[in-house]
Structure formats: C-alpha cells, structure tokens
Chain A
Amino acid sequence: MIDLVAFIPRAVGQGIPLLYGSTGEIITQKSGNLNLGIPGVMYVGAISGVIGSFFYEQSIKNGGTENGFLMIAIPLLCSLLGSFLMGLLYSFLTVTLRANQNVTGLAMTTFGVGFGNFFGGSLIKISGLDVPSIALSKTSTYFSKSFVGTDAGWFGKIFLSYGFLAYAAIIIAIASALIIKRTRVGLHLRAVGESPTTADAAGINVTRYKYVATCAGCMIAGLGGLYYVMDYACGVWSNDAFGDRGWLAIALVIFTIWRPDMSIFASILFGGLYILYLYIPTGMDHMEYKEIYKMIPYIVTLVVLVITSMRNKRENQPPASLGLSYFREER
C-alpha cells in the first residue's frame, strides 16, 4: 500500500507548479487570450530567478554579507520581471498587432524553453566565473523553509511542510477565483472574454483588460517555474528538467472548467498522477512498465477532455471569444 504521509507532500510539491500555471492561464483565458506560451513563460520565470540569485550568491562569496530578505526578493523580482516581459510581448503581438494566438503562443514556447535551456547551460560560460554547476543551495534553503522540521507528525508533514511559495499559490488561486466570480473587475474581465464588442460598447477598455490579464497571468505562471527550481529542485538547474508541466497546466484549465479554486485540488491530483509511477511496484526485470505508468496523467487528461466535451453543459464552455483577436472597426 502507498504510504500516504510520504506520498501527499510529494504530490503537492509536483502540483504547485501546475497550480501556478493553470491559475495564470485561467486569468489569461478569461480575457479571451489563449496563451499557448505558458510552458515557455514558466521556463523564463524559472531561469530569470536563477540568474538573479546566481549573481547575488556569487557576490556573497566575494565578501558580501548574506541578507535573508534580498535572498528571497531578488529571485522573486527577477522572475516576475522575466515573465512579465513575456506577457507583454504576447499581448503586444496578439492584442495590438492582432496576430494569430496559437502561432504566437507556440513561438513563445519555443523561445522561452530555448531561453531557459540556453542560459541554464551557458550562464557559467558567459559570466566567466569559475564554478562547476548552478547550485543555489543557499537561496533554496530560504525558499523551502517550512513551519515544521523532519520530526513532525502526519498533520505537520501533510499540511505544514512546504515553502512559502506553495501557500502563496493556494492564496493566489483562491483570490483569483473570488476576483473573477465576485467583483466588478472580474465581471468586466469575463465580459471581455465572452464578447469584446459588447464590453467595448459598455465602456470597458478591452485592450487594457486583455493586457493586464495576460501579463498578470504570465507573472503568476512564471512563479510556478521559480517554485519548481528553488523549492522542489533544491536550487539546482538542469536543462529540460521542468519538462512538459506547462502543457499539463494548460490542460488543467479545461479540466477545472476555468475555475482557479477547483485547480487547487486538480493540480494536487495531477501532481500525484505525475509521480504515481514511482509507487507502483514493477519488479526489477520489468522496469519498462514504469514508462507505461508515466502515461497516466496524459491519458487521464485526454479522457477528461472527451468527457467534458460530451457533457457539453452551457456553464462549462470556454469564454466565447477565446482565441480571437478583437478589432473595433470589424463588426
């Protein structure tokens, strides 16, 4: 039987990046922008944070003093800035220049993943510093500092053993759900996503809503990358390690029918599916079945996609103008 006290914290650890990614993408999609660049944005968010803290840790080694606040603030701000710029680029291309959203998103993913792997692999070479690898263990200890130690009971292990970014993810998800559902800003945002023409006629600034929602969405998604590298991977950057989590985050948007609060549970569930293969016994001579078990999250996503489309309920539909760019003079 699976040891749940050990399994759940790991599932949550895997789920948090997905939660950040899907919350960001839900906000973006609510404004009618289908951002397929989220996987790239998450890489950029991660590597920007890594670059920031890499130089800060180097300056400490060269005689600077370690400042706990800066240890967290520098990577956090770098990461937010990096993913904000990606969001700005996407908004500029799709909203102002009205480019095709699918193609722009895929180009952003190509660029973002390349950007992450390039600087992850060449940062040491470019900066000319003499270090063997990017291991930000000091920064990582600040990011993964939790409420309880290793001697905690089951309650502590399941609920209190995460770094602050994990709790932030849940708070952001709940806050976004409330904003989208209960506030005037959220109402306007949904109006822009459903019918920009109507929203425009009602005096809502469509361009501004699309820009703000996309950039905010990207910044939230970028934090997912930062959480992964600083907390989950203990500050060690390795190329392609983040993998396809960005795409799973996009799939989660449909899975949760555009509700960030649902995404909290769905992300953790998917996080669990993602590592389930480690817990299914295969025996030593049939290691290949592990590869089959790794398929589980994707097959589940596919099945869920099909089931939600079969049920085809009115309230479960995507924003009506999702993927379309808006031009006022075209009616």
Chain B
Amino acid sequence: MNNNEKVKEPLFHIVKRDAIPVGKAWGIRVIAIVAALLVCALVTTVLTKDNPLSIYATIFKGAFGSARKTWVTFQDLSILLIISLALTPAFKMKFWNIGGEGQVLIGGLASAACMILLADKMSNAGIIVCMIVSSIAAGAIWGLVPAFFKAKWNTNETLATLMMNYIATQLVAFYTVRWEVPKGSGKIGIINQSTSLGWLPQIGNKYLLSIIVAVIVTAGMYIYLNYSKHGYEIAVVGESENTARYVGMKVKKVIIRTMLLSGGLCGLAGLLLVGGINHTITTTIAGGQGFTAVMVSWLAKFNPITMIFTSFLIVFLGRGAGEISTRFGLNHSFSDILTGIILFFIIGCEFFIYYKINFRKSKKEESK
C-alpha cells in the first residue's frame, strides 16, 4: 500500500493488541453501532426525504408502537434467538452450519404433517407430543447428514448445509401442493382452524410461549457451553482438532453430536413457528432467519447472553424498517439494506478491537 515510501518509515503500521479491557471493547462496538445508525438515517433520508429525527421515531414506533407490536417484536426476537443459539455450538466447533433455514423448515414441515395427518386419529395432547418429537428429530436429521459427511470425509459443510436448505424448501413445496386447501390455491391455509388440534397451548397470551422457550434455551445453552463436558469438547475441537485428538476426544463423535443438537434446536424453532405462531406452513416461513442467525451468533462472539442483545438489534431494526417501508410505500426489502449496513459496521469495528494502529512519530519528537 505504501510502495512509494519504501525508504521512509510508513505513515502507520498495524500491531496486534495483547488484550483489551472489556469496557473499551464494548465502547468500540457502541461507537460502530451509533455510526451505523447515523448512516442508516442518512440513507433513509435520501430515499424518503423525511427528516432524520422522525425516521428514528418511526423505527421506534415500528417496534414498540403498540402493545401488540411490542409483543410481536419480542416473539420475533425469541425465534431469531433460538435459531442463533441452535447454530452457536456448531460455529464454536468451527462447523459453518448455514443450513439453519432448512433445519427450521423441515422441523416445521414435520409438525405440520402431524397436525394434518393425525387430526382425527389422536387426542390433542397426543398430537402435540408427536409434533414435538418429530420436528426436533427432523431438524436433527437435517443437521446429521452434512455432519456425517464432514466427520467421515471432511466434506465442505458450508455448501452441504446450503444444499440441504433447498432440498427442504422443495420438500415443503411438494407437500404444499399435496395438502393444499382448497385444491389449486397453492397454499395450505390455517391448519385445523375449527378444531385447533395440534395448536401449541397458549400461556397468558399467544406470544408468551415462544418467549419462555427462548429464555429456557438461552439459559440451557449458556450452561451447556460453559459448564458441561460437551461444551468444553466443542471448544477444544473448534480451537484445534489435532489437540482434541491427542487428548483422546473422539472428534467425529463430537461433530455429529453437536450437529444433532444444532439441527434439533432449529427443528424446535420450526415447531414454534408452525404449531405456535402461524398454524400453517409455507416455503418462506423461516424468512431467511437461518442466515441472519449466523451473523447474530457471530456478532455476539458465540456468547448466549450477548446474543439476546445482538438479535434484539437486528429484530428492532427489521421491524422499524418495515414500518418505514409501509409508511412511504417502499419495498419491504428495505430492512435488509439497513441490516446490511449495521452488519458491515460491526464487522469492520472488530478490527479496532484486535488491532492497534501506530502512527509514525513526527520528526520533532524523534529528535528529542
């Protein structure tokens, strides 16, 4: 970069930091988020010609404008959080599971299948038990396939999980046509609308169930990763597979076990989406959250507690941007643009946490 100054000392050089106080690291991240929000406001202002302050107000209103909106925000937050938590053990093991989308879908499909096929063969409780078991198992199988090939032949897991996404999507499309109500409509519609068979029970109101599940999963994952033998094995395999092998861990077993867990939890998210929230299934029910979750998990540095904040940030912005697009008649992909901007800033700011820029000392100082 500094080819023309080969003789002189370069203007600056980059050194790795030893360690940075936690407070300072978070300071850098907060600065990045604030800078990103400013850029988001700027972009929105250019596109809508509204004033920036009222844009922030609109974003806030989109997420917390009414009691219902607030509940939905928290519900979306819990689903994204569960998927992010599901992917986390795999990422900690350096297994790039970008198949969350497919694992959620197939879990959702399994519960939809139970709701439709068992409708007049079993009691409500029986159906719900079947849904829970089958959706978690389906997600786990979807995680198992790439994990098995990775463990056995070191197959590239990023692409294998990705392909599993599309296979799941097409399976859902196939069953959508097969079970469509009414025939020819191309969608399933609300399943068991009159009987509510297989609808997950409501606790308090219809949003609370997913939130409670998310809290339990967060706590469980925190303990699992930090205080269990499995969690320790995952961390060692992630840092160095050879070390893990030398100390006698069965790496293949760890990979397969972790992906079963990862896929199973994604299946659980699918169960909540189909059985608890939407009561139907479409090919877009996961809505790209399998991919967003990768970033949520990474931004939180694989820490389940931090993940609550990162997923909140993404959901908050997404709902806010949704409100902006509705108000100004713009396309709903607007939220993806804002999410992208925020992500670029946070990804970029990590550099300043791990590295330090030393500027060339001025001549006067050197001569002293």
Contact status of A239 and B163, CB under 8 A, knowing A100-B347, A111-B341, A329-B16: no
A107 within 8 A of B: yes
Distance between Cα atoms of A291 and B330 in the complex (Å): 32
Contact status of A93 and B355, CB under 8 A, knowing A114-B333, A294-B170: no
B362 within 8 A of A: no
Distance between Cα atoms of A8 and B344 in the complex (Å): 41
Q: Interface readout for A109-130 with B: 1 if CB under 8 Å, 0 if not?
A: 1111111111111100110000
Distance between Cα atoms of A125 and B348 in the complex (Å): 33
Q: Which residues of A contact B205 (CB under 8 A)?
A: none
A98 within 8 A of B: yes
Q: Which residues of B contact A125 (CB under 8 A)?
A: 328-330
Instruction: Select from chain B the residue with minimum beta-carbon distance to A244.
Output: B166
Contact status of A298 and B163, CB under 8 A, knowing A118-B331, A309-B154: yes
Partner of A103, one of B295, B337, B340: B295
Partner of A117, one of B174, B333, B341: B333
Interface contact A114-B298, CB-CB below 8 Å: no
Partner of A109, one of B153, B291, B347: B291
Distance between Cα atoms of A107 and B14 in the complex (Å): 25
Interface contact B331-A111, CB-CB below 8 Å: no
A185 within 8 A of B: no
Q: Which residues of A contact B344 (CB under 8 A)?
A: 89, 93, 107, 111
B15 within 8 A of A: yes
Q: Which residues of B contact A312 (CB under 8 A)?
A: 153-154
Interface contact A288-B178, CB-CB below 8 Å: yes
Distance between Cα atoms of A305 and B162 in the complex (Å): 12
Q: Which residues of A contact B96 (CB under 8 A)?
A: 102
A99 within 8 A of B: yes
CB contacts under 8 Å to A, within B137-157, are 149, 153-156
Distance between Cα atoms of A291 and B168 in the complex (Å): 11
Interface contact A110-B173, CB-CB below 8 Å: no
Q: Which residues of B contact A112 (CB under 8 A)?
A: 340
Contact status of A110 and B156, CB under 8 A, knowing A118-B330, A126-B47: no
Interface contact A113-B333, CB-CB below 8 Å: yes
Interface contact B294-A103, CB-CB below 8 Å: yes
B149, B153, B335: which has the most chain A beta carbons within 10 Å? B153
Interface contact A110-B159, CB-CB below 8 Å: no
Interface contact B347-A110, CB-CB below 8 Å: no
Instruction: Select from chain B the residue with minimum beta-carbon distance to A112.
Output: B340
Interface contact B333-A36, CB-CB below 8 Å: no
B167 within 8 A of A: yes
Contact status of A111 and B16, CB under 8 A, knowing A100-B298, A125-B329, A239-B331: no
From A14-22, A58-66, A246-254, A258-266, the one touching the partner chain is A246-254
Interface residues on A, range: 35 or more
Interface contact A295-B167, CB-CB below 8 Å: yes
B19 within 8 A of A: no
Distance between Cα atoms of A244 and B163 in the complex (Å): 10
CB contacts under 8 Å to A, within B333-351, are 333-337, 339-341, 343-344, 347-348, 350-351
Q: Which residues of B contact A121 (CB under 8 A)?
A: 330-333
Partner of A291, one of B47, B160, B177, B336: B177
Distance between Cα atoms of A117 and B344 in the complex (Å): 19
Distance between Cα atoms of A329 and B356 in the complex (Å): 13
Tell me the smallest distance from the CB of A111 to a CB of chain B, in Å: 3
Main secondary structure of the interface of B (DSSP, over half): helix
Distance between Cα atoms of A118 and B336 in the complex (Å): 9
Q: Interface readout for B262-285 with A: 1 if CB under 8 Å, 0 if not?
A: 000000000000000000000000
Q: Which residues of B contact A239 (CB under 8 A)?
A: 331, 333
Interface contact A114-B16, CB-CB below 8 Å: no
Interface contact B153-A247, CB-CB below 8 Å: no
Interface contact A114-B339, CB-CB below 8 Å: yes
CB contacts under 8 Å to B, within A86-103, are 89, 92-93, 96-100, 102-103
Distance between Cα atoms of A96 and B341 in the complex (Å): 18
Distance between Cα atoms of A107 and B344 in the complex (Å): 7
Interface contact A298-B170, CB-CB below 8 Å: yes
Distance between Cα atoms of A120 and B166 in the complex (Å): 24
B292 within 8 A of A: yes
Contact status of A118 and B333, CB under 8 A, knowing A89-B344, A207-B1, A295-B167: yes
Q: Which residues of A contact B3 (CB under 8 A)?
A: 205
CB contacts under 8 Å to A, within B165-185, are 166-167, 170-171, 173-178
Q: Which residues of A contact B178 (CB under 8 A)?
A: 288
Interface contact A291-B347, CB-CB below 8 Å: no
Distance between Cα atoms of A98 and B350 in the complex (Å): 9
Q: Which residues of B contact A205 (CB under 8 A)?
A: 3
Interface contact A302-B339, CB-CB below 8 Å: no
Interface contact A118-B337, CB-CB below 8 Å: yes
Interface contact A110-B288, CB-CB below 8 Å: yes
Distance between Cα atoms of A24 and B66 in the complex (Å): 47
Tell me the smallest distance from the CB of A115 to a CB of chain B, in Å: 6
**Closest A-B pairs by Cβ, 7 of them:** A114-B336, A111-B340, A121-B331, A288-B177, A117-B333, A97-B351, A107-B343
Query: Which B residues are closer than 8 A to A by beta carbons?
Result: 1, 3, 14-16, 47, 96, 98, 149, 153-156, 158-160, 162-164, 166-167, 170-171, 173-178, 288, 291-292, 294-295, 298, 328-337, 339-341, 343-344, 347-348, 350-351, 354-355
For the complex with contacts A111-B336, A118-B330, 11 further pairs of A-B residues with Cβ separation under 8 Å are A99-B351, A111-B337, A112-B340, A116-B333, A118-B336, A122-B47, A126-B47, A291-B170, A292-B174, A306-B160, A318-B156
5 contacting pairs across A/B (C-beta < 8 A): A97-B348, A98-B355, A107-B343, A288-B175, A306-B149
